[in-house]
Amino acid sequence: MTTSHYIAGRWVEGQGSDCISVNDPALGLPFAELMAASVAQVDQAVAAARAALPAWKNVSASERAAVLRGFAEQLGERREALITLQMRNNGKPRHEAEIDLDDAIATFAYYAGLAEQLPGKNRDVPLAAPGFSARTRLEPVGVVGLIVPWNFPLVTSAWKLAPALAAGCTVVLKPSEVTPLIEQAYGQIADALGLPAGVLNIVNGKAETGAALSNHSGLDKLSFTGSNSVGSQVMRSASAQCRPVTLELGGKSAIVVFDDCDPDQAVEWIVAGISWNAGQMCSATSRLLVQDGIADVLLPRLQAALDNLRVGNPLTEEVDMGPLTSQAQWLKVASYFATAREEGLQCLAGGQVLEREGWFVSPTLYADVPKESRLWTEEIFGPVLCARRFATEDEAVAEANDSRFGLVATVCSADLARAERVADALEVGHVWINSVQAVFVETSWGGTKGSGIGRELGPWGLSAYQSVKHVTRCLG
């Protein structure tokens, strides 16, 4: 699989120095290889996007909407192949891979609708001062670089690609080197739809390719989803260019369970928040705050639920949770298990790698974790849940907010007035009340504090790729 890069409307062989191995994490074995793009090929991709921008930004909003609907339809036509690839390359259970695909389809369909509703290029602005007229224009930001992660490929790229195309931007997309294959579907769809050459470009590679794109002077904006360590490098490169950036970074999110909550229902929400995608989510609610009055009932039921999760190869078994997606992530989670043993944490469930082929770990629960523990404060990115007890509502809010991250939170309570009050007090970008982590394209996605800059999804996702221009004229 050498022709893995889509540049200026053509599939080309990688000319970089890195060879990328694509692995099946359930087996711990590679099943494909591709050569990374070279720095020169990144230059070519940006140049192609720059050349395509003048024509694409002047395509009517209705024509762009038709293209986005075409992406949604074509994704649906590739349904089984894309679901299987998610299961094989990410280790996702089938039901998760199906939801991911449906999410991507819904995203393109939603931004097609928003594109159709875009106002005309000019809107009059009423002025209090006489003798002048003013109008405003919403214009595309320009050429944008999109760097997406490995935990939700296809989905995260849809969240960026659909609004960027809807706004009239041209794009250079860099998928993760861990999951480089599934985003190739977007290039195939661009070919099928006859998308003008250069509007969408896809370059694969490792750190060298990502750095070449994020540092490129030909970009007008960069949107990145990934770790805080890489995000800070992306932000430095953006600052050197004085260029706008959207960053969707990490989290160490809390789920708060009050003692009036039904314990069995709470267990369902807690397990979903830590085991979905094997806990490899920036939104994983990995800090459990449980009120004293329900803790002794809840924790044993939670322990049993985690112990009973079916963990295995989604291509050959009926599973609730698959493997970790990469060996690097498997080793990282294993190191936190070792840290927990060194700290003497009370392990109620799991706490170990599984003795089988592939990169599997057990769903894990630690109880009464000190606030100073690394497991309480650091993002692990695995199915590792840490629990602490609280007495009062004010204490729960204070503990939930005591984090350098601020992405999401969940509140579980039969007292809806209290749940709404706590939701308002939490310093995060998204709160669920008595729910699993249902994410809808109409809502926003993004966080506060160390969880990033800007918002994706909803109308905010579209405005992230638009520039506002005002024209003021003297009437005298």
Q: Which residues are catalytic?
A: 248, 282
> 163, 61 in Cβ contact below 8 A?
no
d(CA 151, CA 156): 9
d(CA 360, CA 339): 18
DSSP calls for 155-220:
HHHHHHHHHHHHHT-EEEEE--SSS-STTHHHHHHHHHHTPPTTSEEE---SHHHHHHHHT-TT-S
Of 282, 277, 273, the residue nearest 251 (C-alpha)? 282
CA distances from 262 to 64, 258, 437 (A): 48, 9, 18
d(CA 259, CA 161): 43
Question: How far is C-alpha 250 from the chain's CA centre?
Answer: 10
d(CA 307, CA 175): 34
Of 289, 350, 287, the residue nearest 321 (C-alpha)? 350
Indicate the SS3 state at residue 49. helix
